[in-house]
Each structure stands twice: as C-alpha cells, then as structure tokens.
C-alpha cells in the first residue's frame, strides 16, 4: 500500500486486499461474507477518504499497527489498533463529507 499512496485505484484495491486478508486470517466466515456483501460501499468510502488530506497515510499507519499486532498474535493490541483505525476512518469520513458539502455550496454560489 505504501507504493499506492498517490494512486487511488491501486490504494483502494490494496486496502480491500488487506482487510480481506485479515478476515481470512480470522477464519470467520461471517466476516468474509459481510465484507463480500459491502465491497462496493467500501470502495466508495475509501475513495472519499483517499481525497482527504493525509487520509491514506493515516490509514496506512493504522494498518501497520494492526498487522504488527496480528503477526505478534496479540489480540488485545490488534483489537485496540483496529478500534483506533475505525476512529480514524470515522473522522476522515466526516472530513470528506464536510469537504463535499463545502464544494457543493461553493458550486451553487
């Protein structure tokens, strides 16, 4: 993903692959089924976050922490890292919505 930080399509595919790999590692068919059912929504959301200044870099920072905890087989650290990542995603999604709203308002004036 580091090599994809300036290419939205490559970054989004790498991001989705990362999350799919985590779901497969968890060996939880319910998570895999959920991801499969919302992959289109995830692509749209990732694209909006990609456009937020620093969004891809923040996401990558959290992914590295999640991966390190998973590789260390430390479920508490992995859970905490994932929670922090979800907070980051929520904040970046809010920033994206605010940017879109601002752009819409400016185009009307």
Q: What is the pLDDT of residues 54-99, one digit of tens each?
A: 999 999 999 999 999 999 999 999 999 999 999 999 999 998 756 6
pTM comes to 0.80
Question: Is residue 10 over pLDDT 60?
Answer: yes
Q: How many domains does the chain have?
A: 1
Q: pLDDT value at position 99?
A: 61
On the question of pLDDT at 104 being above 50, the answer is no
Domain hosting 77: range is 2-108
Question: How sure is the predictor about 107, in pLDDT bands with cuts at 50, 70 and 90?
Answer: low
Average pLDDT along the chain: 87
* Crossing angle of the two packed helices 55-71 and 8-26, in degrees rounded to 10: 20
Long-range contacts for 55-62 (Cβ within 8 Å, ≥24 apart)?
55/92, 55/95, 55/96, 56/1, 56/4, 56/5, 56/11, 57/5, 58/88, 58/92, 59/15, 59/85, 59/88, 59/89, 59/92, 60/1, 60/2, 60/5, 62/88
């Amino acid at each position: 993903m580091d090599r994809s930080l300036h290419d939205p399509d490559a970054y989004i595919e790498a991001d989705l692959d990362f999350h799919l790999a985590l779901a497969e590692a968890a060996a939880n068919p319910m998570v895999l089924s959920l991801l499969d059912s919302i992959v289109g929504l995830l692509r749209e959301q990732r694209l909006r976050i990609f456009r937020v200044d620093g969004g891809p870099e923040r996401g990558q920072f959290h992914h590295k922490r999640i991966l390190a905890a998973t590789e260390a087989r430390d479920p508490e650290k992995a859970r905490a890292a994932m929670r922090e990542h979800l907070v980051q995603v929520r904040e970046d999604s809010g920033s994206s919505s605010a940017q879109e709203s601002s752009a819409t308002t400016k185009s009307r004036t």
